[in-house]
């Protein structure tokens, strides 16, 4: 414990003597982690949204024309049931659809109470077994007499999947690049600190100091850089993410049937991820610098 305390004391002492270099390193690594954090929260939310909409791959809405007779409406349901892969066909009146919409809007549902008339059409909700069946329904239904429109989210889901994949690949590429740059920054910062203590280190080695005794304060200095950068980057990501979700508003998100991951939940994950990343960067950067320039 006493040796650990000494190493920490030496690490903070050398940070005090080289405030400018350490501040610049912390600032640069914080900025890089912030970029990674924004990539991460974007990927998580887009991926969650894609999976949420992806559940609608097996659900298709068939909107009916106004003025259809009961005979035509029943015939549409019968035709839909005959399509291969259809598991369930449920008729939804416009009044039922409006009630469901009010419920979906939550506390803002009262805004729909004063409509002069119900603008929603009667419809059929069709559940299918797989994507091939969904495509078959989407292609066949428009040709059935009495059908006005077909709502199927295939294109939207595929585009969201592509966006999610792009963000994932971009995040990995950005992380690799930024980690390498961060390690170089830490290594250069420690290298300059080593140069400033070159005579002191020479005396320590002459008096019999072990390699670890010499290296430990510099490694702790790298760890401190990583930890401080991680905490600051996590806090900034939380503030930006909370601000954005606050501007959009939970009511609007509810009306649009879109949900986002809570900021607190993401912050906990980010803090752990950034701490591991920051400590790793600090240790690797310090070790590289010491081995190369001290040869100890």
User: Higher confidence at residue 223 or residue 159?
Assistant: 223
Residue 296 scores a pLDDT above 50: no
Smallest Cα–Cα separation from 56: which of 142, 147, 127? 127
The whole-number pLDDT of residue 113 equals 65
In 3D space, the residue among 141, 287, 136, 149 whose CA is nearest the CA of residue 218 turns out to be: 287
d(CA 266, CA 10): 35
Burial class (CB in 10 A: 0-12, 13-18, 19+), 282: buried
From 127, 153, 179, give the residue that closes a domain.
153
Residues 104, 46, single domain; the answer is: no
- Structure tokens belonging to residue 214: 């010499």
Say if CB 225 and CB 29 are below 8 A apart: yes
| 191-220: average pLDDT | 68
Residues 39 and 95 in one domain: no
The DSSP string of 39-108 is HHHHHHHHHHHHHHHHGGGGEEEEEEPTT--HHHHHHHHHHHHTSTTEEEEEEE-HHHHHHHHHHHHGGG
Query: Rounded to the nearest 5 degrees, what angle is found at the Cα of 201, between the Cα atoms of 199 and 204?
Result: 115
> Are 49 and 60 members of one domain?
no
Residues 193, 172 within the same domain: yes
Shared domain for 117 and 225, answered yes or no, is: no
Q: Dump strand ranges (E) for the chain.
A: 59-64, 86-92, 123-128, 147-151
Same domain, 73 and 15: no
Query: Do 48 and 179 share a domain, yes or no?
Result: yes
Residue where a domain terminates, one of 112, 130, 153: 153
CATH number for the domain including 71? Answer: 3.30.70.3040
**Among candidates 69, 158, 76, 159, which has minimal Cα distance to 125?**
76
Report pLDDT digits (tens) over 245-275: 777 655 545 544 556 677 777 888 888 988 9
Task: Give the C-alpha separation, 1 to 10, whole Å.
Answer: 14
Backbone angles phi, psi at 150, to 5 degrees: -125, 130
Considering the domain architecture, whether residues 174 and 244 belong to the same structural domain is answered as: yes
Last residue of a domain, one of 120, 136, 153: 153
pLDDT confidence of 1, banded at 50, 70, 90? very low
Same domain, 49 and 94: no
Whether residue 208 has pLDDT greater than 80: no
**Do 45 and 61 fall into the same domain?**
no
pLDDT of residue 218: 77
Q: Within this chain, do residues 96 and 109 fall inside the same structural domain, yes or no?
A: yes
CB-based contacts of 223: which residues, under 8 Å, 6+ apart? 11, 278, 279, 282, 283, 286
Q: 261: Cβ–Cβ under 8 A, 6 or more apart, which residues? A: 41, 44, 45, 48
3-state secondary structure of 121: coil
Contacts of 284 (CB under 8 A, 6+ apart): 183, 186
23/222 Cα distance (integer angstroms): 12
Q: Which helix (H) or strand (E) holds 11?
A: helix 2-17
What percentage of the chain carries pLDDT values higher than 70?
Answer: 72
Q: Quote the pLDDT of residue 6.
A: 64
As for how many domains the chain has, the answer is 2
Whether pLDDT at 183 is above 70: yes
pLDDT for res 111: 58
Query: For residue range 16-52, what is the model confidence (pLDDT) as tens digits?
Result: 767 777 888 888 889 888 988 888 888 787 777 766 6
Name the least confident of 56-60, 66-70, 183-187, 199-203. 199-203
User: Any bridge partners for residue 196, and if so which?
Assistant: none
Residues in the chain: 296
Shared domain for 177 and 232, answered yes or no, is yes
Dist CA 36 CA 31 (whole Å): 9
- Expressed as residue numbers, the domain containing 139 is 55-153
């Amino acid at each position: 414990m006493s040796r650990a305390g000494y190493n920490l004391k030496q690490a903070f002492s050398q940070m005090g003597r080289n405030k400018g270099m350490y501040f610049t390193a912390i600032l640069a690594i914080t900025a890089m982690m912030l970029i990674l954090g924004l990539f991460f929260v974007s990927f998580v939310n887009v991926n969650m949204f894609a999976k949420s909409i992806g559940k609608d791959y097996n659900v298709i809405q068939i909107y009916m024309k106004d003025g259809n007779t009961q005979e035509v409406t029943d015939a549409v349901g019968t035709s839909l049931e005959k399509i291969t892969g259809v598991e369930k066909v449920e008729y939804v009146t416009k009044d039922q659809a409006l009630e469901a919409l009010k419920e979906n809007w939550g506390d803002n549902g009262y805004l729909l109470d004063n409509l002069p008339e119900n603008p929603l059409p009667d419809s059929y909700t069709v559940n299918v077994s797989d994507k091939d069946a969904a495509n078959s329904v989407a292609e066949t239904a428009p040709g059935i007499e009495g059908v006005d429109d077909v709502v199927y989210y295939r294109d939207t889901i595929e585009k969201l999947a592509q966006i999610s994949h792009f963000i994932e690949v971009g995040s990995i590429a950005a992380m690799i690049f930024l980690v390498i740059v961060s390690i170089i920054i830490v290594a250069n910062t420690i290298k300059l600190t080593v140069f400033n203590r070159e005579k002191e280190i020479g005396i320590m080695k002459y008096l019999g100091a072990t390699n670890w005794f010499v290296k430990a304060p510099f490694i702790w200095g790298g760890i401190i850089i990583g930890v401080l950068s991680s905490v600051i980057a996590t806090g900034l990501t939380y503030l930006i993410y909370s601000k954005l979700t606050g501007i959009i508003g939970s009511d609007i998100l509810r009306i649009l049937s879109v949900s986002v991951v809570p900021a607190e939940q993401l912050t906990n994950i980010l803090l752990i991820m950034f701490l591991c990343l920051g400590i790793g960067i600090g240790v690797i950067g310090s070790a590289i610098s010491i081995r190369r320039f001290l040869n100890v």
